[in-house]
Each structure stands twice: as structure tokens, then as C-alpha cells.
Amino acid sequence: MSSSLIGLLRAAALGLLASAFGDAALAQRVDTKASELMFVTRMMGVPVEGRFERWDAQVRFDPRQPAAAHVALRIDTGSATFASAEVGAEAQRAVWFDSAQFRDARFESNALTALDGGRYALSGRLTLKGRTRDLVVPIVLARNGDAGTASGSFAVRRLDFGIGEGEWSDPSLVAAEVQVRFRIALTGLAP
């Protein structure tokens, strides 16, 4: 085999490897210790705040190609904590998160739309308690070199996911919408 043919084959093989594994170079690292995933509901008009202590995310984002972005988030529903330990224990019961049967909630993106001023709209599917719904998450990305923070908030209709069943489905007892707030610390952002 001639050296030019071998060189061409090597270049083709490297090109295939780069296209197969190129996304790994654009993957960002998520610092869960410097991040937070919180939610607020209202019980009889009084705000009740909680947070998830255990979750992980895989983020692939290139600001030059936002449409190719991908986010996968897994939340351990058993890690929901509240100011009151009693509320935290109640949240694990079948009527609420049913953490024994549905340990993980998941979000998987299917589109990212760039807006203006570091703002984006992330579309995807949220699966919680065995039910899946479409969701659009507004995100603001604040950058500092190759690091940044993705933050935002959105509302989830809890009854769409069977959260708070039976007597607790009454929105005068527990508000129908839960506000979710997040701040995710990222490193490895492309210029």
C-alpha cells in the first residue's frame, strides 16, 4: 500500500473518531457542590421551600452551535429536604414523590434555542413519578472565561405528575404550581 493511501486512511479514521467522540470535548463539568436545585410550593398559602441534595447532570453545550446542545438531569427524589424533617419524611410517601417506587426524576433535553443576552430556552421532557410531560426551561448563562453559571426558574404543575394525590389534590391546600429554581455551576465552556 502506498504511503499516500495509508495517510489518507489514517486521516479518514481520525475524522471518524473525532466525529464519534467530538462531543466529549464539548461536554461541560457540573459542580454539584457549588450548584443548587430548589423548589417552593405553598401549603394553605404559606411558602414551603425544599431542595434536592442528590442529583447529577450531563451538559454538552457549544455557544457557536446551541441547537446541538444536550442536557440530561437525574434527580434522586429521596434526597428532597425541607426545614422540617417531618415534611421531608412525608414527601417520600406514595401520595407525594413515592420515592420507594420512583427513585429518580429525569429531564432530557431535545432542543435549545438561543435568545438574546445569554438567555436560552431549553425544551425537553420531564419524567416524574412515572409520568412524562414536555417542559420549556428558561436559562440565563453567566460566563466567566471557561466557567459559568446556568440559572433560572420555571413552574411545574404538580398534579400533572400525580404529586399530592387524594385529599392533597385540592389546590387550596397545596398550590397547583411548584416553582423550581436552579443554579448550576459549569466549567469547560467553549469560547
Q: 4 by DSSP, 3-state: which?
A: helix
As given in the structure block, the three cell numbers for residue 155 are 413552574
Looking at residue 27, its amino acid is: A
pLDDT band at 26 (very low <50, low <70, confident <90, very high): low
Could you read off the pLDDT of 79-136 as tens digits, one per residue?
999 999 999 999 999 999 999 999 999 999 999 999 999 999 999 999 999 999 999 9
Return the number of other C-beta atoms located less than 10 Å from residue 21's C-beta. 9
As given in the structure block, the three cell numbers for residue 8 are 489518507
Please state, in angstroms and rounded to a whole number, the distance separating the CA atoms of residues 10 and 128.
46
Contact 110, 125 (CB under 8 A): yes
Contact 109, 71 (CB under 8 A): yes
The pLDDT value recorded for residue 15 is: 36
Question: Any idea where the domains of the chain sit in the sequence?
Answer: 27-187
As given in the structure block, the three cell numbers for residue 55 are 442529583
Residue scoring higher pLDDT (129 or 63):
129
- Does the domain at 27-187 match CATH 3.20.20.80? Answer given as no
Q: 91 by DSSP, 3-state: which?
A: helix
